[in-house]
Amino acid sequence: MMNKLLHKFAFAAGIAFGLFGCGGGGGGDSGTSSSAGTSTSADCGQPGSRCVESAGGMSYILYVPSNFVPDSGAMVLALHPRVGSAAGMESLTRLNEKANQAGFAVVYPQTGGTFWGWYFNGLDHIPALRTVIAAVQAKIKANPKRIFVTGYSDGAEMTHRVGVELSDVVAAIAPVDGVLYEGPTPSTVPNAKASVSVLMLHGDMPAGASFFVCGYGQVPPQDVMFNYWTGPQANNCSNFNTTANICSNGALQLTTKNAKNCNGSTEVQFYPLVNGTHGWHNSPGNWSIPLGTYPAGFTPYNPNFNTTTGFTTNDILWNFFNSHPKP
């Protein structure tokens, strides 16, 4: 735990220097928004608006592109990293640009400078996030079957928890560089409230790094998360593309693993970002670099990525979300 906490503080301190991985990971967490100025409260939630609101004691930025269509348009929540902010996540991910293309609304909640309440740090942001979702839904009338959540780093860990405890209202989650829990055992992670589609993206960092895809210390390997989401605690999947583990003897051995025939027509997918460090990657890349090598200057890739999957973090997330509404 301590190693990861130290890494998170070092990561936050290094944001201003662009430490987001190879090939332009997407800018710093504390940057300003690339969107237009904030709307008045009267305009908040209308197509073409960006506003700052609060609900349940949690502030958030709401961006609604001009091509958003009430009742059919999707809502995407984006959870910031440790010592992050709503505006920083907005700038880092550039999800507003993708929203402009695809017509979904984006919500950037903010903790107020604390950790997100992932398992098991003693905090609980689930009630506030449930209230935020309800408040935004009342404003914009998003399709209730198309509410999605993503998050990065600490926000990714919270995204896993959202999938467990808010799956009754959330259709799909996509944690980027995060784990389901931190600690020696997952026994206190409850069963998911409902079936939920899950996409896990994680940088293929070298062994020994606290965010290593195959685990480190009390940070479990991605196999633990995949097995939870495909098991009877969550989606109870029965059709796997492989029975092999993602990791073997602490080393990555798969570049994809997916499960179908899950409860509620859900699906679970995992992709490592080969050669990828801890970051949100807005530069496309898909070169055939040998697994386990880390050449400087290369954008993370995965040989399984294609035009259907997408090549950037935002494209991959949205393509998955768009094809996985609640049934």
Q: For residue range 274-322, what is the model confidence (pLDDT) as tens digits? A: 878 788 988 887 655 555 555 555 678 898 999 999 999 999 999 999 9
Measuring CA to CA, which residue among 119, 116, 150, 300 is closest to residue 219? 119
Q: Is residue 199 predicted with pLDDT exceeding 80?
A: yes
Q: For residue range 28-73, what is the model confidence (pLDDT) as tens digits? A: 333 334 444 566 667 999 999 999 999 999 999 999 999 999 999 9
Concatenated DSSP letters of 239-300: EES--S-SEETTEE--S-EEEES-GGG--EEEEEEBT--SS---S-----PPTT---TTPPP
All residues at 6 or more sequence positions from 137 whose CB lies less than 8 Å from its CB, including other chains: 75, 144, 147
All residues at 6 or more sequence positions from 255 whose CB lies less than 8 Å from its CB, including other chains: 271, 272, 274, 291, 302, 303, 304
Mean pLDDT, rounded, for 163-167:
98
Q: How far apart are CA 215 and CA 218, in angstroms?
A: 8
Q: For residue range 99-132, what is the model confidence (pLDDT) as tens digits? A: 999 999 999 999 988 899 999 888 999 999 999 9
Task: Report the pLDDT value the prediction gives residue 22, as an integer from 0 to 100.
Answer: 23
Domains along the sequence of the chain with CATH? 2-322 (3.40.50.1820)
Measuring CA to CA, which residue among 226, 201, 229 is closest to residue 314? 201
Q: For residue range 242-264, what is the model confidence (pLDDT) as tens digits? A: 999 999 988 899 999 999 999 99
Q: What is the mean pLDDT of the chain?
A: 85
What band does 2 get if pLDDT is binned at 50, 70 and 90?
Answer: very low
For the chain, give the percent of residues with pLDDT over 90. 67
